[in-house]
Amino acid sequence: MAKQPAPKAAPAAAKAATPPAAKAAPAAPKVVAATAKAAPKPKRQLSGATRVGIAGCAGRMGQMLLKMLAQAPGVLVVGGTERRGSQALGMDLGALAGTEPFGITVGDDPAVLFDTADVVIDFTNPSATALHAGYAAKNGTAHVIGTTGLDADQQAAVARAAQRAPIVMAANMSLGVNLLELVVEQMARILDTEWDIEVVEMHHRHKVDAPSGTALALGEAAARGRGTTLRRVAKRGRDGQAGPRAKGEIGFAALRGGDVVGDHTVIFAADGERVEVTHKASSRELFARGAVKAVLWAAGKAPGLYSMKDVLGFSVGAQPANGG
């Protein structure tokens, strides 16, 4: 990618009625400085490009997203943040993406990022994501969340923020996993409680939360199919004298090792037969592609809490928070 120096004045700050007219953006994606002033609401550049920031830009997913977004048509990368004390602070985003310099350095202030961007992709940690949702609500910035492991209070914070900003929240942004959720829900609806349900997942040795967010989402799909909630029927791990399996429970087993990107299997087991449905991810690129799709979809949407099923067209959509 050719080096693209930052313009003297951010086109996002131009007003449509002020001469001279803003110069049309070139067809190829380009990058502007992260310090550019945000445009008035709605947050959309005159050129039509969607301004995107990445929270957690130095992580595995963040680096892959930077590379994909820099090449995506209709997208303008405007910044990236990391936690305070990160070794990535001050680095050019291009160095993280493995491309030519972007002319933008990694910062540590999410307030600036959410003020500058139309959409922020968030692959950080639960406490940071809950905080970021507040910035999304304050600025009306679309927030695409791939962070997993949020507790009930953090999920509630995201839900409150969705009353003022469009938020796409998904444990897994791949097409295959979202299809798998639909299949699991339908199977659980058809098969009665004589069929035991177990969810088995495996990830790389560095993953910190267990079971994975995707495993829990699959368990929630199975619980919906059974007409109940996962909280009532979940069984996380068994050890020692665990006793016989309770009828109707949904069990989880989490494995960790090597560099496994993500394997998920849902087992339906009855006397004399067993059905297993599996998804295996061999590259994080599929999650990054889904995230880019979510970014383009979320820009300009009404406030509300959405899922990847909305993005992919599998469901009717979220109820707008303002009732509109």
Given the residues 138, 207, 235, 309, select the one marked as catalytic: 207
**CA-CA distances (angstroms) from residue 281 to 173, 214, 302?**
11, 12, 32
**CA-CA distances (angstroms) from residue 106 to 89, 110, 120?**
5, 11, 14
Q: Are 158 and 305 in contact (CB under 8 A)?
A: yes
Quickly tell me which residue has 């001050």 as its tokens: 90
Q: Is 203 a catalytic residue?
A: yes
Residue type, 129: T
Sheet holding 304-306, edge to edge: 75-81, 50-55, 119-122, 142-145, 166-169, 304-306
Given the residues 143, 203, 293, 301, select the one marked as catalytic: 203
185 Cβ contact list (under 8 Å, min separation 6): 221, 222, 224, 225
Write out the catalytic residue numbers. 203, 207
